[in-house]
Amino acid sequence: MFRRFDAWRFRRRVRRALALNTRGEVRADGLELVRLDNRLEVEWRARDVHPWDRAVPGGEPDAGFCEQLLDDTEAAVLRLFEALPEVNTIDVRVVRPSGGGLLAAGTVHRASVEQASRLRSVGMRLRCLGITYRFEGAG
């Protein structure tokens, strides 16, 4: 409930800024808001796998990293949308923990979150959201 109110209040502040009559204009008309898209660009370093989880017997060391990266990316995007109701679009970039090479990137629209939530696989949910990733061990 409060999130919707915050989004409404943000939109109202934008409309007020476009209303030219508040700055001493005689005319009562102002600029009409046609479309509002509040965009956030965010980039973060992926977490490295905990040392205890690196030497899993019979498992690939990179598989844990890939799974963690996908889970972390999905959680971060969902939390950003929840915390920032006025944001409609998020440009995401995830880089390696050590070097800075790109691991995942994409543009996520708020409208695609509900559609993606129906999928079972985290990797497929991220692709549905608009995030592409490319590394060994990713499913």
Write out pLDDT tens, residues 87-104: 999 999 999 988 778 999
Question: Is 139 within a domain?
Answer: no
pLDDT of residue 50: 62
Does 23 or 48 have the greater pLDDT score? 48
Q: Are 96 and 46 in contact (CB under 8 A)?
A: yes
Residues 30 and 98 in one domain: no
Global pTM exceeds 0.85: no
Residues 10 and 66 in one domain: no
CB atoms within 10 A of CB 89: 16
At 33-43, the pLDDT tens digits run 888 888 999 99
Q: What tokens does 105 get?
A: 């990137």
The top-scoring range by mean pLDDT among 17-21, 38-42, 50-54, 61-65 is 38-42
Q: Spell out where 30-88 has E strands.
A: 39-45
Handedness of CA 39, 40, 43, 46 (dihedral sign): negative
Range of the domain at 116: 38-133
Give the C-alpha separation, 83 to 92, whole Å.
16
pLDDT of residue 102: 93
Residues 95 and 109 in one domain: yes
Q: How many domains does the chain have?
A: 2
Place of tokens 């660009």: 41
Reported as a pLDDT band with limits 50, 70 and 90, residue 49 is confident
pLDDT of residue 53: 59
Question: Is 138 within a domain?
Answer: no
Reported as a pLDDT band with limits 50, 70 and 90, residue 138 is very low
Give the C-alpha separation, 29 to 21, whole Å.
7
Residues 57 and 25 in one domain: no
Mean pLDDT in residue range 26-47: 84
Question: Is 101 within a domain?
Answer: yes
Task: Classify strands 102-109 and 89-95 as parallel, antiparallel or unpaired.
Answer: antiparallel
pLDDT of residue 10: 84
